[in-house]
Amino acid sequence: MVSLLSAAKTVHIFLLLINAWIWLSSVSCSAELQHFQHQVKPDGSLSFLVVGDWGRKGRFNQSKVAFQMGLVGQKLDIDFVISTGDNFYEDGLTGVDDPAFYKSFASIYTAPSLQKQWYNVLGNHDYRGDVGAQLSHVLREKDKRWLCLRSFILEAGFAEFFFVDTTPFVDKYFTDPGDDTYDWKGVSPRKDYLSNLLEDVDASLKKSKAAWKIVVGHHTIKSAGHHGVTEELVQQLVPILEENSVDMYINGHDHCLEHISDSNSQIQYLTSGGGSKAWRGDEHWWDPEELKLYYDGQGFMSMQMTREKAHITFYDIFGKILHTWNITKELHSAA
């Protein structure tokens, strides 16, 4: 009997160690970026919506934005939705049972057309809560649409999306957090985390054979909005994007809709951070040759793609089209 109990205890400890190893592998700063695949339509096209900075339990016009997303999503027959982060205000989730997951996500984006996969990155407000909750499989069991990782790659036929965890790049969250508390489990030691992440992103971009390379992060790189330029990303991430001929960088963080066409590269910088609360009148000067759109209200973005072309559209909370932009792959030009 004693030997059986001892054996059972050994097996139990072994299983705990295995589970711990799996968990550490999922949060390790040296983990290779995980890949997901999403099929294009039979006609070879792809369409999706992008929304960011939204999780306010329906307030600040979040519900109105969601309603219009549902209408546009149906019209375009979207394949998925991308969230650019700050998924739950003000301080992320308290855990996997936080009712905010339902009040800000599941019960808000209820349109039939939005019952597609959501690919989410974390924003700085998400890091103020329990990061592990948003990354947990438990939320995927509660709502199968939900998929959130720190950084990952989505392969969608001719297009490849590189989701990058940008919050740990920002120095002030570490050096001057004020009254805010951040959940850095899985990020420390920060220097190693960022070094490995940049190395993985660079290697993945170099390896990619996709016709379109699109990088998604929460923080702005080029923006005329409240937060403006994130210098840490300009210094550390932009050289990688430019060297690897990235076509677009899509972000949130600034609560606006924005399009900046970089004059020094082919990169289009697209901000979709108007999912709920917006900042009226909070705009800084930007070169008008580069600034194609700045809208200081709520809304979202859509993209329709083929191997040869991408059509980008920004909408306000009434579904009004604010701005469109076409890119022809061979020319990297606008029409």
Catalytic positions are 227
Rounded CA separation 187/185 (Å): 5
Rounded CA separation 237/242 (Å): 9
Q: Find all residues with CB under 8 Å of 8, minimum gap 6, and list them.
A: none
The two tokens of residue 278 are 């917006």
Q: Find all residues with CB under 8 Å of 311, minimum gap 6, and list them.
A: 303, 304, 305, 324, 325, 326
Q: Find all residues with CB under 8 Å of 182, minimum gap 6, and list them.
A: 124, 127, 128, 173, 174
Rounded CA separation 19/13 (Å): 10
- Measure the CA angle with vertex 207, ends 201 and 210; round to 5°: 100
The structure tokens 């998604």 sit at 216
Contact 274, 295 (CB under 8 A): yes
The two tokens of residue 114 are 């939005």
The structure tokens 């969608």 sit at 156
